[in-house]
Amino acid sequence: MTSPPPPMSLLAELTHRCPLQCPYCSNPLMLDPRTQELGTAEWQRVLDEAAQMGVLQVHFSGGEPMARPDLPELVRHAAKAGLYSNLITSGVLIRPDSLRALADAGLDHIQLSFQDVEAASADRIANMAGAHAKKLEAARLVAAEGLPLTLNFVIHRQNAQRVPAMLELAEQLGARRVEIAHTQYYGWGLLNRDALLPDRAQIEATTQAVQAARTRLAGRMSIDFVTPDYYEDRPKPCMGGWGQRFLNITPTGKVLPCHAAETIPNIVFPSVREASLADIWDHAPIFTLFRGTEWMPEPCKSCAFKEEDWGGCRCQALALAGQANAADPVCHKAPDHNAVVQAIAQRPQTPPPFRYRRFGNA
Amino acid sequence: MTQATGQTVTESTVPRFARGTRLQYDRVREVWFVQAPERAFHADPIAAEILQLVDGSRTLGAIIDQLALKFDAPRAVIAQDVLAMVADLTDKQVLLHA
């Protein structure tokens, strides 16, 4: 087998520690403890290896990556290696001095998350009093610093009606990009699905709000819109194809094709503590297992779209069909499509309480 | 969908990269990329030639002159390519100009 093309981007999850407890967090249910996190020198080696392989962009994420005091040092190292650096942050730890240290280190861009536009609702979703006010202040500091800013809103049944106000807030805060991302249902999101899954009318309303804003803001602000695939007929090309463009490294150094891949059973997760990143990308079973189209079952194997959607999402197949190598149940042709139909049909009228994301709460 | 942004690109325009965007040579793939917030897009050879001359002080007229000389090509053809590409990258917020 020939070597796969090198990855384009690396998601570096520096820590799972976070002051927020959002119920749709993309971190796994079993969070990595601080005592096992990679150290500064280990991350620096990983960044060098990533750049040498052909990774172009590194996304420093978490948890809350600003909980790591060595973040400016890692940003500086990434810049020196020629990597474009992005900070994915909740913003609650941004202060004038901490932001300045990151800008001086060569940080290229900041993605700041918001939970809502109404403070009370936002703070309830994050389960952190005062979080929203801190984020507004953080956005002002980023704009004053002149760093390009993306605002990220994760949306769901409890805030989707405020998408137009979210877009207005992004405009007011001087964001160049905004992401309106419907919740994806893995890990914590799946655990909280009944509290989060919108209905079809909400999906349509959010789609219309985004289209109207795209027309109004063309050339000034770009909008990325992530739809919830439960309401689609065809699955999404998850991660641009398994092991084709993207690598994720967990706080303890496990290397994964996506941030939910730790749910896949009976497989060894390779670690940067034991092998080089290039060796893992080229040869580790977790990457080769679902790369390309060889692994596909029917109806994927004979499907005309198999190199467009790559069979959809392996973690969703596992979560909903019980097997990672099944067709993504979102697809209307998948044998397990009924799992998605049922999830929508059985969605309760009143959302149940959130099960917040924190150590030991899964 | 793209609408005019009120910025007209002419030969006297002086383009520069917006903060958070840059042109970068990828030694592994041996191609040029425009690095931008959360995406990197491939710059074809013509775009790469143009963008290597964007330094925040050259006018587009000077860039066109230089490329016409380098490639021994009709100036009008080069001018059309350069103005169209800069207008497109301005709409994408990659380039700014006064």
Among A11, A53, A84, the residue to mutate for chain B (most B Cβ within 10 A): A84
Chain A nearest-CA distance from B22, in A, is: 9
A140 and chain B: CB distance < 8 Å anywhere? no
Which residue type, as a one-letter code, is found at position A156?
Answer: H
Rounded to an integer, the average pLDDT of A250-256 is 98
Rounded to an integer, the average pLDDT of A153-157 is 98
Q: How many CA atoms lie within 13 A of B21 on its CB side?
A: 21
Give per-residue pLDDT as tens, B32-45.
999 999 899 999 99
Rounded to an integer, the average pLDDT of A109-132 is 98
| A299 contacts A334 by C-beta, under 8 angstroms | yes
A171 and chain B: CB distance < 8 Å anywhere? no
Alpha helices in chain B (DSSP H): 45-51, 60-71, 75-91
pLDDT of residue B1: 36
pLDDT of residue A240: 82
Report the complex ipTM.
0.90
Chain B nearest-CA distance from A166, in A, is: 20
Share of chain A above pLDDT 90, in %: 91
For residue A19, count other CB atoms closer than 10 A to its CB: 16
Facing B26 at nearest CB: one of A54, A111, A150: A54
At residue B26, does pLDDT exceed 70? Answer: yes
At residue B4, does pLDDT exceed 70? Answer: no
Distance CA A194, CA A182 (A): 14
Closest CA to A256 of A268, A212, A221, A266: A268
Distance CA A242, CA A267 (A): 16
For A150, the closest chain B residue by CA position comes to B37
Is B3 in Cβ contact with A56 (below 8 Å)? no
Give per-residue pLDDT as tens, A334-343.
999 999 999 9
- Rounded to the nearest 5°, which phi and psi values hold at A100? -60, -40
Q: What is the distance, to the nearest Å, from the Cα of residue A9 to the centroid of all Cα atoms in its chain? A: 13
Rounded to an integer, the average pLDDT of A214-223 is 91
For A223, the closest chain B residue by CA position comes to B92
Distance CA A286, CA A242 (A): 10
- Confirm whether residue A300 is marked as ligand binding: no
Closest CA to A165 of A220, A212, A100, A231: A212
Rounded to an integer, the average pLDDT of A26-51 is 97
Chain A nearest-CA distance from B4, in A, is: 8
Instruction: Give the DSSP per-residue string, A28-46.
Output: -SSPPPGGG---HHHHHHH
Chain B nearest-CA distance from A148, in A, is: 6
- Confirm whether residue A303 is marked as ligand binding: no
Confidence of residue A233 (pLDDT cuts 50, 70, 90): confident
A27 and chain B: CB distance < 8 Å anywhere? no
pLDDT of residue A211: 96
Q: Which residues contact B79 (CB under 8 A, 6 or more apart)?
A: B11, B64
Facing B38 at nearest CB: one of A54, A86, A218: A86
Tokens 């503590």 sit on residue: A273
Distance CA A112, CA A105 (A): 18
Give per-residue pLDDT as tens, B36-91.
998 999 999 999 999 999 999 999 999 999 999 999 999 999 999 999 999 999 98
| A245 contacts A54 by C-beta, under 8 angstroms | no
Q: Where are the beta strands (DSSP E) in A28-117?
A: 57-61, 84-89, 109-114
Domains assigned to chain A: 9-231 (3.20.20.70)
- Interchain CB contacts (distance < 8 Å): A and B: 68
pLDDT of residue A1: 52
Chain A nearest-CA distance from B10, in A, is: 18
pLDDT of residue B7: 64
Give per-residue pLDDT as tens, A298-336.
999 999 999 999 999 999 999 999 999 999 999 999 999
pLDDT of residue B92: 87
Facing B1 at nearest CB: one of A108, A148, A218: A218
Q: Is cis: bond before A335, omega within 30 of 0? A: no
Residue numbers in B near A54 (CB within 8 A):
26, 28-29
